[in-house]
Amino acid sequence: MFELLDQHQVNELHVRYDVSSGLRAFIAIHNTALGPALGGCRFIKYPSESHALQDALNLAKGMSYKAALAELPQGGGKSVIMVPDRHFDRRSLFSEFGRFVESLNGRYITAIDSGTSAREMDIIQTVTSHVTSTSDAGNPSSYTAAGVFEGIKASVNFKLGTESLKGLRIAIQGIGNVGYELGLLLAESGAEIVVADINRERVESALREFASHAVSPEQIVQEPCVVFAPCGLSNVINESSLERLSCRIIAGSANVQLAKPELGQRLHEKGILYAPDYVINSGGLIYASLTHSESLRSDFELVSRNEVLQARIHEKILQIGRTLEEVYQGSSSKGRATSVVADQLAEEKLTRLQDFAA
C-alpha cells in the first residue's frame, strides 16, 4: 500500500465503508501545501476496489499540478465512490459521503465529476460546507469547456500557424456536459464537428445542434481529423489507440488521457501535438476554487462582487492558452514530450508557490 502511495506521490489516503448506505469510497490527497485539496467526486461502476483506488490515486496528482499551473490557492485531491452492486438510497449514500468529507476537517473540498451532479453536491452540502458545484454555485462544465476551447485555439495556432478554426475537422470523444458545451463553442467558430458517445440521445441532439456526423465510440480514435478531443473517461491514449490515431493534435477535457507516462514521448515522436490534460482542462477547477472561496464571504451575492469574480475566472481561463504556448515552446526547444515539459513546469511552480507561501 505505501509503495503505491509513494509511486503516485500521494500524501494521504482515506477510506470509508458504510454497510447501511452501501458507501465504499476513497479520498486521495496529493498535496495541501498551497491550501485545501480540491477535486471532484467520481461515482461510477468499477470492476474492483483496486481499480477504484488506482483511479483516485492517478487523478489526485493531476489536480495538484492543475492548481499550481493555474496559480490557485488549492492542493490536489480526488474522491471516488464505487456504485453499489445492490439497491441503494442515493440520499443516504451521499449524506454518508458528506460526513466522510466533513471528518477531514477541511483538508479536502469535493465537487462534481463523472457520475455526479449538483443534485449530489446539494445532498453533501446538508452535512458539510466543504463542497462546491452545488445548485447555488452553478455547474463548472461550461468553464471547463471554455478552457478547452482556449487550449484548442492555442494548439492550432502553434501547430498550424493560424488562429482560425473555420473548416477544421475536430473529433470529440464523449459528449457529456463538457464535450457537448465544447462542441457548441467549436461549431460557433466554424469547425466541422464529428462526435461519438455511448448515449444515443446525446448523439442525436448533437447532430441536430452542431455536429456534421457521428461515428461509433470505437471508431472515433482513428477518425481523420486535425484535432482529437477526448472528453470522456481516462486512459484513452494507450498502446492500441496510439497506433490508430489519425489526428495532428490531441486536446480534450478528459483526465489522465495517457495510460502510461511514456506514451507522451511516443506522441512527440509521431509528430502529434498533445495538450497535457491537467493544463487544458483546468477551467472547471478555476471556477470551483474561486466561487468556493467567494461563497465563504458574507457579501458574496452583491452584484459588483460577482462581476469581479467573473472577470477573475475569465482571465484565468484565458491563461490556459498562454500556459500551453509555454509548454509547447519548451517541448520544441528541448525536443521533449509536452507531457514531460508540463510536469516539470508544474513541479517548478508548485515548489515556487510553496516557498512563497512559507
Just list the catalytic residues. Answer: 78
Residue 77 and residue 29 in contact, taking contact as beta carbons nearer than 8 Å? yes
Q: Order of strands across the sheet with 108-112?
A: 12-18, 23-31, 75-82, 37-44, 108-112
Q: How far is CA 342 from CA 169, 261, 273, in A?
A: 26, 12, 13
What is the Cα–Cα distance from 166 to 262, expressed in whole angstroms? 33
- Do residues 40 and 112 touch, judged by C-beta distance below 8 A? yes
Distance of CA 23 to the CA centre of its chain: 24
Cα torsion 71, 73, 77, 83: sign: negative
Cα–Cα distance, 342 to 6 (Å, whole number): 21
Which residues in the chain belong to E strands, given as ranges? 12-18, 23-31, 37-44, 75-82, 108-112, 169-173, 192-196, 213-214, 227-230, 249-250, 273-274
Cell for 189? 467558430
Rounded Cα distance between 45 and 86, Å, is 12
CA distance 350 to 66: 10
Grid coordinates belonging to 320: 490556459
16 forms beta bridges with 25
The three cell numbers of residue 197 are: 458517445
What is the CB-side half-sphere exposure of residue 303 using CA atoms within 13 A?
Answer: 0
**Contact at 8 Å (CB) between 167 and 144?**
no
